Structure 1
Amino acid sequence: MDRMADSGKSRGGGVCVMVNNSWCNNANVVTLTRSCSPNLELLALKLRPFYLPREFTSVIINTVYIPPQANMDTALCELHEALTQFQTQHQDAALIVVGDFNSANLKRAVPNLYQHVTFPTRGNRTLDHCYTPYKDSYKALAHPPFGKSDHAAIFLLPKYKQRLKREAPVQREVARWTDQSVAALQDALDDADWDMFRHSTDDVSEFTEVVVGFIGKLVDDTIPRITIKKFSNQKPWVDRTICEALNSRTAAYNAGIISGNMDEYKSAAYNVRRAVREAKWHYGKKLETQFQQSGSRSPWQGLWMITDYRSPPSGLMSADESLANELNIFFAHFEATSSSANANSANANGASANSASPNGTIGAANGTCAGPTIEQRPLIIMESDLRRVFKRVNTRKAMGPDGICGRVLKACADQLAPVFTDIFNLSLTLGIVPSSFKRSTIVPVP
């Protein structure tokens, strides 16, 4: 791109990009922008080389020239707007910004870029820069200048390692919840003799632990589990249909090499492209649906998926026994204050009632009888209420300390409601929370 009349310069300037045909041909080179102003000359190209790491869809090369007499703040502002537009339109493209910046520093406008040229390129000053969003992606080497140029030539040796090689694949086991496996689990829970566990012990914690362990054993025996391997460069829209289409294409290619007939391979390759288009379309509709739904959870999930946000792993907080003592003293203070206040109020009410009633019975003067107050009535959980709560469990939430996932409670609500009703009522009667329902146990100091 030669200088234009809008640049206001009669000499100097002009930028160009030369592409090796063995790396990328002309059919895969697209010009994104040509900008020439008194402060900035910019030529941006989008290239699709023959080989790219899977995490990149293309390469955007921005060739920049900022004259020495230019307004550096204005030039950086124009360049920042262009780079922001490219990154928004091509989120998975590799961004490279090279050129003669003179005294400008692009990191002032785009702090997330890294500068890879660390040696002087003209005299004792570093005027030529190379910026990318990836740390340690290039190693710059100084070479003699071209022709009569007074700038040193820079050879950029790639140091970037693919994400697939930098990060190991993650393997995790997931349960396959099918109609057959859920029906088998329901039948196993129907045949369970809960009375045997109920009569075997009088300790509610032991009773709960046995029931929870038995349910977990049935789930492990009836629900099949598979191992899923997720690679670090895997796209979020990749699903099972794409994997099956890729395997079919590979098998068709191997068969075509042996037989010499590649028609089946061409058909399989078309099926792969069609599966990718459909998967991307369904993924886009899923994101649109999350933004259209009510509630704050769906929009945040959509933003996390778009920005590829991964929340840091959370773990249990470990603390020494002093924390338990501090919590015990803190809450016992309020309990003692509340108990003393209730006792003083009861004594005052009793004194006034005794003075008003000649026989010393509360409510005897107006003909009412004393009975148990609301606080004295035992709280009883009904089986129908618990069944209704189990059927409304959100299966997307994590399991509790008991280790029973929400899908088991929701799918087997009719089978689990009776035994858990007995556990909850027994816990309320004894005033003891089973240890299986607690993440930590704090023992008060006597």
Structure 2
Amino acid sequence: PTKRTITTWPEDSLPRLQDCFEHTQWEALYHEVLATFTDVVLSYIKYCIGNVTVEKCIRVFPNQKPWMMSQVRMLLRASDSAFRSGDRALYSVNRADLRRGIRTAKAEYKRRIEEHLNNPRQVWQGIQTITNYRGHAVTPGDSDTGLAEELNSFFARFERVLCVVNPRKATGPDGVPGKVLKACAKQLSQVFTDIFNFSLVRAVIPSCFKSAIIILIPKKSPTTSLNDFRPIALTPFITKCFEKLSPSNSLASTSLQTSTGRSTPQRWSRRPSSGYTS
């Protein structure tokens, strides 16, 4: 068997995370350097995630069946314990319970697969389980209600972008899961709006938002050349949110610079009537 470390989310983890972000003084994390400001915010978010989640070390067997749930494992341990005790009557009872448990688990697993035959996502997840695939700010006056409405609309718009993040997609190199951004969109929209505005004013993109994890998926086996791989890039969720907000902020003709100083014209912009990002 191989050992893996997984992150589990208790039932109260997301409400606790929302409460933590709700009472966070984000102003205390502000820094004049955009890269430092972004790194501090992301590090704080990951620290809070670590406080509400639990890491477990599990053993994965190559022949582990997809219907082998916790109830079946409990029955299996009870049967083994009865066998070692030498009590034949107890072992006979536990062995019968184990057989019934396995039969019930297989039927339940079959039912779950058949219930989602019309749902492509659920079917694909079932196949994976079966195969074991594993600017220069201006201070507004108190009577400027129009600007207040615009700011409220802007914050609500960023919150809507975070709310539609797909939590099933893999986490990017920043280490912030999509389920956290979606569940805590209300609490995190303000600080990411500040980072976004800061980025526009300085015309600089934080380097942590420009990074990506490249995963090579083999097209066939065995692989003999680079053409036999299909590269998949995992980018941060926040970068994708910024890309969605960029068109309404007139970034189509803006040439931004990364933290390393290299110019990236139209890196975040989406061209009108086009199906790709420049």
**TM-score with structure 2 length normalisation?**
0.63
Specify the SS of the correspondent of 2:68: coil
1:444 aligns with 262
Q: Which blocks of at least 5 consecutive residues in structure 2 are unaligned?
A: 135-150, 213-257, 264-278
d(CA) in 1 for partners of 2:129, 2:51: 34
Specify the SS of the correspondent of 2:65: coil
Residues 256-405 of structure 1 aligned to structure 2 (within 5 Å): 257=86, 260=87, 262-293=88-119, 295=120, 297-306=121-130, 308=131, 310=133, 382-405=154-177
Give 4+ residue runs of structure 1 displaced > 6 Å after superposition.
none
d(CA) in 1 for partners of 2:48, 2:127: 38
2:235 aligns with none
Q: Which has the higher contact order (CA 8 A, sep 6+)?
A: 2
Aligned residues: 202
Structure with the larger helix share: 2
Question: Do structure 1's residue 179 and structure 2's residue 5 form an aligned pair?
Answer: no
Residues 68-217 of structure 1 aligned to structure 2 (within 5 Å): 169-198=1-30, 201-217=31-47
Q: CA RMSD in A?
A: 2.8
Q: Deviations over 1:329-357 (max 9, x none)?
A: xxxxxxxxxxxxxxxxxxxxxxxxxxxxx
One-letter code of the match for 2:179?
R
d(CA) in 2 for partners of 1:271, 1:392: 45
d(CA) in 2 for partners of 1:176, 1:268: 31
1:423 aligns with 195
Q: Deviations over 1:201-248 (max 9, x none)?
A: 212221111000111112112211111211111112211111111112
Deviation (angstroms), 1:392: 2.9
d(CA) in 2 for partners of 1:239, 1:304: 16
Q: Deviations over 1:77-101 (max 9, x none)?
A: xxxxxxxxxxxxxxxxxxxxxxxxx
d(CA) in 2 for partners of 1:178, 1:427: 35
Deviation (angstroms), 1:281: 1.6
Specify the SS of the correspondent of 2:57: strand
1:246 aligns with 76
Deviation (angstroms), 1:424: 1.8
Question: Do structure 1's residue 233 and structure 2's residue 51 form an aligned pair?
Answer: no
1:220 aligns with 50
Deviation (angstroms), 1:435: 1.5
Specify the SS of the correspondent of 1:291: coil
Q: Is the 8 A contact 1:204 1:434 kept in 2?
A: yes
d(CA) in 2 for partners of 1:437, 1:299: 33
One-letter code of the match for 1:422?
D
d(CA) in 1 for partners of 2:153, 2:198: 10
Q: Is the 8 A contact 1:185 1:223 kept in 2?
A: no
One-letter code of the match for 1:171?
K
Q: Is the 8 A contact 1:182 1:223 kept in 2?
A: no
Q: Is the 8 A contact 1:248 1:268 kept in 2?
A: yes
- Change beyond 3 A, Cα 1:205–1:265: same
2:180 aligns with 408
d(CA) in 2 for partners of 1:389, 1:263: 62
Q: Which of 1 and 2 has greater Rg?
A: 1
Deviation (angstroms), 1:404: 0.1
Specify the SS of the correspondent of 2:204: coil
1:331 aligns with none
